[in-house]
Amino acid sequence: MRIFQHISIKHKLILIIMLTSSVTLLLTSAAFVIKDVVMFYHALLRDLCSLTQVIGMNSEGALLFNDPRTAAKNLESLGAMPYVFSACIYDKKGEAFAAYFRKDAPKDTSPPPIASGHYYKKIRNKKYLFFFKPILLETETIGTVFIQYDLEERNFKMREAGIIFLAVMAMAVFCVSFILSHILQGIISAPILHLAQIARTVSKEKDYSVRAKRCCEYHWNEIGILSDGFNEMLTEIQAQEKELIRHRGHLEEEVVSRTAELLRTNEELVRAKNAAENANRAKSEFLANMSHEIRTPMNAVLGFTDLLHSLATDPKQKNYIESIRSSGRSLLTLINDILDLSKIEAGKMELQYEPVDIYSLINEIRHIFSLKIAEKELEFVTDIADDIPRSLLLDEVRLRQVLFNLVGNAVKFTHKGYIRLSATKIYTEGNMSRVELILAVEDTGIGISPESGEKIFDAFKQQEGQDTRQYGGTGLGLAITKRLVEMMGGKISVRSEPGRGSVFEIALHHVPVAAVPVKSKKDGTAGESLILFEKALILVVDDIATNRNLIREFFLDTPISVIEAEDGDKAVTAAGRYKPDVILMDIRMPVMDGYEAARRIRKIEAIKDIPVIALTASGMKEEKDKTLKQGFDGFLTKPIQRSELFEELAKFITHSKKEAPERAEKIEITEPVSPETMEKLPELTDKLENELMRKWDSARKNSFFDEISVFADQVKGLGEVFGMSVLRKYGEELAGHVSSFDIENMNATLDAYPKLVGKIVSLRSKGG
C-alpha cells in the first residue's frame, strides 16, 4: 500500500481502471464458466436423456422381438459421440441385451445398479457419468438403456479450452484496458497535473497572477470545481498580496512619518525642556542677582534716607522722607519674601535637619514677641505637651521662620485678648521613633472671613478688606509658611471666625525622634575668633572695590596680607607675580570671569596648585557645584561672613586655635581709626546714639526680622560710609543671624549694640 501511495495519480488511475476491469471480467467469466458448467451438465443430461430415449425407442422392437443385433446397431450410432465411454441395453430381467464400448473401454457389462436416473462416479481417477434410462412400451418397462459418459476427457478438453480462452481474454483485457486507461486517465490526471504545475509555478515564482486553464468540458465536475476553487484561491491570495504590499508600503510610510513626527516631537520636547531649563536657570540666576543687586542699593537708599531724615528740619520734607523710608523698607521686605518664595518654588531651598528642642524654640519665640505683646497688652500663652521628645529632627531655621510668621501675624491682627502657642504630639501606629507634631497658633484677633478661607495661603492674597496701611505686610508670609510646612512633609490648616479669632494649625507628619541631644547653641559661633592665622598672602579678585575693601578689612587684625586684582586677566598676572597662598575669586567680572581665570591659573605650572576659592552672589547650590567642578577649591556665598571666610581659609592656611573670647570682646575696636573717620566721629556717634538707638529699641521690642534686618543694614551702611569696620562687622553679623533665623545669637548681638555705641563714643572722647 505504501508503494501504491507513492506512485503518481496517472499510474494509480491506470492501475485502478485495470484492476477494476480485470476483477469485473474475472468475476463475470467465473459466473459464465459456472453457468456454462451447470448448463453443460443440464444439457448433457438432457442430451443423454433424449439419446437414450431414442435408443430405447429404437430398441423397443429389438427387445420385444429378441433382436440384439438391431439393438447393437442402434448403440453403435453412439460411436459418433467421443465421450460416450460405454453403453448397454439391458432387458427387463436386467441382463445385458446389447452393448457398445469405446475403443479404449474395457468390454465388461455389469447389470445396472439402478433402473433409472444417473450418478457420478470416479473409476481409476476418472470421473464418469452413469446414466440409466428405462425403455417403456406403453406403460411397461421392457428394458434399460445405460450410458457411461466420460466426463474426465470432456472436462479436460473443456478446461484446456477454458484456460486458453481465459489467457487470451486476460491478454486482451490487459491490453485494451491498459490502452484505454492510458488514454482516458488523461481526462482526470491532466487537469490535476496542470493544477500541480500551476501550484508549483506559483510557489516557486511567487507569481499569483497565473491561473489554471479551465477546459470547458470540465466546467461542471469535481476537477472543474477544483480548478475554479484553485483559481478563486489564487485570486484571493493575489488580492491579499496586493493588499499586503499596499499595507506594507503604507505601513512603511506610516512608520517613517510617525518616526519623523516622533523625532520632531522629541526634538521639540528637548528644545522645550532646554528652553524651560534655561528659562528656569535664567530665572534663578536673575533672582540670585536680584538679591545681590537690589539689596545692596536698597541698603544705601535706606541708609542715606536715614541720614537725610536726621538732617531735614522742614516737617514737610521730614514727612516725605518718612514716606520714602517706609516704602523702602516695604520694598526690601517684599524682595526678601519673593526671594524666599521663588527659592522654594524653584526647589532651591533645601532643608537641613538637625536635632531641635521644641521647648526652647517656643521659648525663643515667646521671648522675641514678649515686648510687642506687652506693648499691645495682650496675653501670650504657650502650651507645650510634656510628652514631646526633647530632641526632634527638624529644620530649626525654617520651623522658626514658620512660627515667627504665624505668631507675628497673630500679634499683628490681635488687638485684645490672647495669643496661644501650643504643641502636642501623637504617636503614629505605636511607632516610638516617629511622632506627629501638631503646632497651633490661636488668637482672638480680627479673624478671617469664610470666603477668604484657604486663599490666604496663596501668594499676594491678603484678606479682603485688609487695611494695608494699618497692618502692612507683603501678602507672602502665609504663602511662604505654607510652602515651608509642605516641604517639611506637613500640612497647615486654618479655622477662623471673623471678629472672634483664628487658629492656625500645623501638623508635621512622621517627625523622627533624634537619637542625639540638641547641641548647645554656643558651639561653633564666632568661630573666626578661634582661628589664629600665620603669615600668609591672599589675592582678592573682584571688580567692585568695596567688596575688595571689605575682605581687606576682615584681615586687618590678622597677619594675613591682601593684594587685589579687579578682573580675571589681572588676577592671573598677579598670581604669577606674587604667588599668593590663596586666591579669592569673584565669578562675575568684566574682561575675564572667574571661571576662565581659574582655568588659566590651572594651566600655569608655577601657580597651578594655589587654592582658588570662589565668591558668588547667587548662593544657589547648582552654582556651588559648578564652581567646584570647574576647578575651584572652595566656595563662599556673598555677602561674605567673616566667620565663613576664616573657616574656609583655615583649610588652606596654617593656623592655630585659641579659646573663645567673651562676646563683648568681639566688638573691641582693634583697628586704628583713620583721621578722616575721627573727623566724622561726632556725626557718627550722634546717629548711633539717637536715630539708630530708637530703631534698635523698636527692633528689639517688635522682634520683626524685617525690622532687625533693616537695622543691621543701616549699621553696616554707616560703618562703610564712615570707614568704621567694627560697625560694618556688627551689621553684617546681625544680618547673618536674621537671615539664618538664629534668634538667640541675633538677640545677643542686638543686645550688644549699646555697648558698641559706648565704645565708639569713648573712642571719640579718647580722640577728642
Residues of the shown chain interacting with another protein in the complex, contacts defined by CB under 8 A: 57-58, 60-62, 64-67, 70, 91, 93, 137-138, 140
With H, G, I as helix, E, B as strand and everything else as coil, classify residue 466: coil
> What is the nearest approach in angstroms of another protein to the Cβ of residue 117?
24
Residue 52 Cβ vs another protein, minimum distance, rounded to whole Å: 15
Residue (64 or 312) nearer to another protein, CB: 64
CA–CA gap between residue 768 and residue 761 (Å, rounded): 10
Is the CB of 68 or the CB of 162 nearer to another protein? 68
Are 587 and 615 in contact by the 8 Å Cβ rule? The answer is yes
574 closest CA partner among 602, 623, 609, 540: 540
CB of 49 to another protein, least distance (A): 19
Nearer to another protein, 66 or 259 (CB): 66
- Quick one: CA torsion of 218, 223, 227, 228, rounded to 10 degrees? 70
- Between 105 and 137, CB nearer to another protein: 137
**Secondary structure letter of residue 519 according to DSSP:** P
Q: Which amino acid is at 1?
A: M
Q: Is the dihedral of CA 708, 710, 712, 718 positive or negative?
A: negative
- Among residues 66 and 468, whose Cβ is nearest to another protein? 66
With respect to another protein, which residue has the nearer C-beta, 69 or 629?
A: 69
Which residue matches cell numbers 438391431? 70
Q: Round to whole Å and give the CA distance between 190 and 186.
A: 5
Q: At closest approach, how far in Å is the CB of 68 from another protein?
A: 10
Please state the closest distance from residue 177 (CB atom) to another protein, in A: 57
CB of 135 to another protein, least distance (A): 10
> In whole angstroms, how close is the CB of 94 to another protein at the nearest point?
12
Looking at beta carbons only, is 140 or 625 nearer to another protein? 140
Distance CA 130, CA 153 (A): 15
Q: How far is the CB of 20 from another protein (least distance, A)?
A: 59
Minimum Å gap between C-beta 80 and another protein is 18
Closest to another protein by CB, 60 or 596 = 60
Can you tell me which residue has the cell 485502478? 16
| Least CB distance to another protein at residue 132 (A) | 20
- Comparing CB distances to another protein, the nearer of 138 and 314 is 138
Which residue blocks in 604-674 are alpha helix, DSSP H?
621-629, 642-650, 663-666
What gap in Å lies between CA 272 and CA 186, rounded to an integer? Answer: 77
CB 755 within 8 A of CB 667: yes
DSSP code string of 55-119: HHHHHHHHHHTT-HHHHHHHHHGGGG-TTEEEEEEEETTS-EEEEEE-TTS-------SSSSEEE
Q: Which residue has the cell 459456472?
A: 34
* Residue 140 CB neighbour total at 10 angstroms: 10
User: 456 near 478, Cβ under 8 Å?
Assistant: yes
Q: Which is nearer to another protein, 67 or 228 (CB)?
A: 67
